[in-house]
Amino acid sequence: MFFHVKELQYTAKPSKPDPVYAKKLQEVLGGQYGEISVMMQYLFQGWNCRGEKKYRDMLLDIGTEEIAHVEMLATMIAQLLDKAPVEEQEDAAKDPIIASVMGGMNPQHAIVNGLGASPNDSVGFPWTARYTIASGNLLADFRANLNAESQGRLQVVRLYEMTDDPGVRDMLSFLIARDSYHQNQWAAAIAELEEKEGIVVPSTFNREYEKSDVAYTFMNCSEGTESQQGRWASGPSMDGLGQFTYEAKPVGTGQAPELSPAPGYIHGTPTTKKQ
């Protein structure tokens, strides 16, 4: 069960309205790597957690913190939209700066949301649950989480550079720091699990059942061999179980496929003798 307190986790006050920036800031609220994504991802990972209790508790802690981040961003966006100039006014239309603001806004902020935040990204695409993963395998999922915090911090940093409003920057500097911690956090949790399970997810599949001869080979499917220069092309593999090799000219070993004709009731292209 959940409870709400009135205070935001951190201050969210812009120095002045900026409806064009409000549109951009939606990305880290309702985008692929926005706060709604991590909120939902961590909560579902926690609720579905069949592993040690400390993981469930930790996932629900951070999932609950992310609801507070969604709240801060929604509050910030609503204030950035204060007094947005959407009304038709003879004078406004003549002022190129106001006209530019009117043109650069997300029209739904005015028409649909009445100057409020919405659970969409910076191009107005709605948040979708296909952004999240809760697989039941914590090592896999913590890698998803580390990625989400990496992409998320990158996006917030870019948004930080796109404004010079001190109030907005103050709030973003808080979110950036939390993303720094959360990258550290997932890196720590991954290290803990990799120590037990090794690098390859899932660790419980009997590796005798995989084609071991292609399990450590880089396949150079394009011209040029610059790709041979990386750590992935030679030396011991990261899981310590093999040696990286580089296949410069991979060859297809499978069949050249030929499919049977479809049964008549499918009404595919009629077969002819030439085939």
Task: Please report how close the Cβ of residue 243 comes to a copy of itself at its closest, in angstroms.
Answer: 11
Candidate residues 22, 31, 35, 38; the one interacting with a copy of itself per rule CB under 8 A: 31
Q: Does 68 bind a copy of itself (CB under 8 A)?
A: yes
Candidate residues 12, 14, 22, 38; the one interacting with a copy of itself per rule CB under 8 A: 12
d(CA 12, CA 79): 9
Q: Does 71 bind a copy of itself (CB under 8 A)?
A: yes
Q: Is the dihedral of CA 10, 174, 127, 83 positive or negative?
A: positive
d(CA 55, CA 179): 19
Candidate residues 14, 19, 20, 80; the one interacting with a copy of itself per rule CB under 8 A: 20
Residue 190: its H or E element: helix 166-197
Q: Does 215 bind a copy of itself (CB under 8 A)?
A: yes
Size of the site for a copy of itself (CB under 8 A): 198
* Residue ranges in 226-255 that form contacts with a copy of itself under rule CB under 8 A: 226-232, 237-239, 242, 244, 250-255
CB closer to a copy of itself, 15 vs 200:
200
Query: How far, rounded to the nearest angstrom, does the alpha carbon of residue 211 sit from its chain's CA centroid?
Result: 32
Identify which of 149, 124, 127 has the alpha carbon closest to the alpha carbon of residue 36.
127
| Residue listed under structure tokens 């006014």 | 89
**Is 68:5 a contact under the CB 8 Å cutoff?**
no
Task: Please report how close the Cβ of residue 97 comes to a copy of itself at its closest, in angstroms.
Answer: 8
Q: Does 122 bind a copy of itself (CB under 8 A)?
A: yes
Write each residue from 145 to 184 as x if it is in contact with a copy of itself (CB under 8 A), else as -, in one continuous string.
-xx--xx-xxx-xxxxxxxx----x---xx-xxx-xx-xx
> 133 vs 63, 64, 129, 136, 148, CA distance in Å?
13, 17, 9, 9, 11
